[in-house]
Structure 1
Amino acid sequence: MTLAYIVAATGLGGLLSVLLAAQLTLGVLGRLVKSLVSLSAGVLLGTALLNVLPEAFEGGADPHSLFLALLGGLLFFFLLEKAELYRHGHHHEGDDPHHRHYHGFDAEQAGKGGWSVLLGDSIHNFCDGIIIAAAFLADTQLGIATALAVILHEIPQEVGDYIVLLNAGFSRRRALVYNAASGLAGVAGGVVGYLAVEPWKPLFPYLLVVAAGSFLYVAVADLLPQLQRRLSLRETVAQLGWLGSGLTVVLVATGTLSH
């Protein structure tokens, strides 16, 4: 039954993002991604700091070793992104007048480097799958909360990658098929995590800490910097509202799942 939960959770984010991208226009998707980035930042921070890390430290492992694992996890995801294997696509050409990239950047990234974008997305999804598997194997309630965080982050990530591919001249159908295929890497990661992690239950606190490191890295290194732009008062309030909504989702889910 646990494996069924893992497969469902790892496949849901990719499925929802593909369905969303297939139904909405490019302009609507671009506006939606901005809101989802704020929402997912709140969810990732809340899940890492209020759910995953407390669960890991309650497992009885040495706190110094757990902090060392957290540091190692942060550096690991930093190096993966340096190698362009842990990429995030939350923007698109012309999405902001203060965009830090030159015009044509996204088309160039998804043109000759399109396979790199898809490879990085697949590796990211595979890592997410292992994280979800470890969380479910530690505790079903923690698995649900972790899966929720991954799904809410994966939707803007996948939609952003879809927009980047469209900017490079990919057809809607081709971009959707490639995004769906990369989403299957999350399911593969979940299955591998279930088979490989289950015999090593004493390592669960360390795996959970690395999972929290992934969430924190994505939120702090990728999402929050995107929110640090000069905005009008109305846009700032909306941004903070979505961020707060993400934290609220985690708090409500935590309270609901604990009963």
Structure 2
Amino acid sequence: MEQIIAYFEAINPILGAFYATLFTWGLTAAGAGLVFLFKNPSRALMDAMLGFTGGVMVAASFWSLLAPGIEMSPGEGFVKVIPAAVGFLLGAFFLFGLDKVLPHLHLNFKEAEAEGIKSPWHRTTLLTLAITLHNIPEGLAVGVLFGGVAAGFDGTTIGGAVALALGIGLQNFPEGFAVAMPLRRQGLSRRRSFLYGQASAIVEPIAAVIGAWAVITFQPILPYALAFAAGAMIFVVVEEVIPETQQDKHSDVAVMGFIGGFIVMMTLDVGLG
């Protein structure tokens, strides 16, 4: 791990953010690749995986994003928390807007319950777009942290950025599986199910590069940008991930998956950051 951190310290931060999110994309593809090995995994396993995803996202939102953002903000007392509060709200509104506009369908919902602007797109496309929404704030968060390190802000470290990328990658693995398997059950070939599953994370490198570039170019926005990514991630968890795990009788399994994901991400961030 020390060698990996040293490598990222030696390269351009925008390139580092890009490479880190190629890794998270790769783990999404690896998860989607399980469609070639499994025919019909249990609903309990799927819900546990989604719960794990939510736990990682919530832990990352605080340990990797909000806490450093508040720490580096100027002022004292209520003044110090203003950038975090404003950025968090803007991030939530950003995802709220995408949720209302982008046609998508939650994994465990019926096609008639598709959200966003009405479209003739097939269920396959709508399911993929739903997970794509998850991945926008994740890629942005990684990019913002790498940009913060390059700008020299206290509270941001390469170790913390690598820890976040590792945590996001770990939760992307079950996410890719959670997209590919429902598509396979609907009759798509294993190959097409895999392609759709891995494609859901293609936005992560794009969002990471944009986030890193924005922070490096406009350094004062970093506390706002960190909180923005956190707000977007929390919106996704509450509006999409949690409801998807509560549609069947395995809600307790999903909750324990959430707890496990939170512990893993917290441990990674504290241990490496």
Length-normalised TM-score, structure 2: 0.74
Q: Could you tell me which residue of structure 1 aligns to residue 27 of structure 2? A: 16
Partner of 1:95: none
Letter in 2 for 1:53: L
Partner amino acid, structure 2, of 1:49: F
Residue number in structure 1 paired with 2:48: 35
**Unaligned segments of structure 1, at least 5 residues:** 92-99
* Counterpart amino acid of residue 271 in structure 2: T
| TM superposition shift of 1:56 | 0.6
Paired residue for 1:142, among 138, 157, 160? 160
How large is the RMSD of aligned CA atoms in angstroms?
3.2
8 A contact 1:38–1:227 mirrored in 2: yes
Which sits farther off after the overlay, 126-135 or 148-157?
148-157
2:61 corresponds to 1:52 = no
* Deviation of the 1:159 alpha carbon: 2.4
Q: How many angstroms does 1:211 deviate by?
A: 0.8
**Distance (Å, rounded) in 2 between the aligned partners of 1:72 and 1:214:** 8
Whole-angstrom distance in 2 between the partners of 1:8 and 1:241? 31
Residue in 1 that maps onto 2:170: 152
Counterpart check, 1:244 vs 2:259: yes
Q: For the residues of structure 2 that align with 1:142 and 1:82, how far apart are their CA atoms?
A: 33
In structure 2, how many angstroms separate the alpha carbons of the residues matched to 1:43 and 1:104? 27
**Deviation at 1:127?**
4.3
Q: Distance in 1 between matches of 2:16 and 2:113?
A: 41
Q: Which residue of 2 aligns with 1:112?
A: 122
Q: 1:120 to 1:44 in 2, by over 3 A?
A: closer
- 1:1-259 correspondence runs (5 A): 1=11, 2-23=13-34, 24-28=37-41, 30-61=43-74, 62=79, 63-84=81-102, 87=104, 89-91=106-108, 101=110, 112-119=122-129, 121-122=131-132, 124-138=134-148, 139=156, 140-228=158-246, 231=249, 236=252, 238-258=253-273
Q: CA deviation at 1:118?
A: 4.1
Alpha-carbon shift at residue 75 of structure 1 (Å): 1.7
Compared with structure 1, are the counterparts of its residues 21 and 198 closer, same or farther at alpha carbon in structure 2 (3 Å cutoff)? same
Write the deviation string for residues 48-97 of structure 1: whole angstroms up to 9, x where unpaired. Answer: 12331111111125423431221121122112111136x57544xxxxxx
Give, in whole Å, the separation in 1 of the partners of 2:41 and 2:268.
28
Contact 1:46/1:250 (<8 A) preserved:
yes
- After superposition, the C-alpha distances for 1:193-240 in whole angstroms (9 at most, x for unaligned) are 3334311121111010011112211222222233446747xx72x444
Aligned counterparts of 2:168 and 2:209: Cα–Cα separation in 1: 16
Q: What letter matches 2:257 in structure 1?
A: W
Q: Which amino acid aligns with 1:218?
A: V
3-state DSSP of counterpart to 2:187: coil
Q: Residues 239 and 118 (structure 1 numbering): CA distance in 2 closer, same or farther, change over 3 Å?
A: closer
What SS class does the counterpart of residue 210 from structure 2 fall into? helix
Q: Is the 8 A contact 1:110 1:168 kept in 2?
A: no
| TM-fit CA distance, 1:188 | 2.4
Q: How many residues align?
A: 243
**In structure 2, how many angstroms separate the alpha carbons of the residues matched to 1:129 and 1:195?**
13
Partners of 2:21 and 2:142 within 8 A in 1: yes
Q: 1:12-53 CA distances to partner (integer Å, 9 max, x unpaired)?
A: 233223223323314127553211111122221122123311
Range with bigger deviation, 157-166 or 75-84: 157-166
Cα distance in 2 for partners of 1:11, 1:251 equals 22
Q: Label 1:178 to 1:211 Cα distance change in 2 as closer, same or farther (>3 A).
A: same
Is the contact between residue 11 and residue 183 of structure 1 (CA under 8 Å) also seen in structure 2?
Answer: no
State the alpha-carbon separation in 1 of the partners of residues 257 and 131 from structure 2. 24
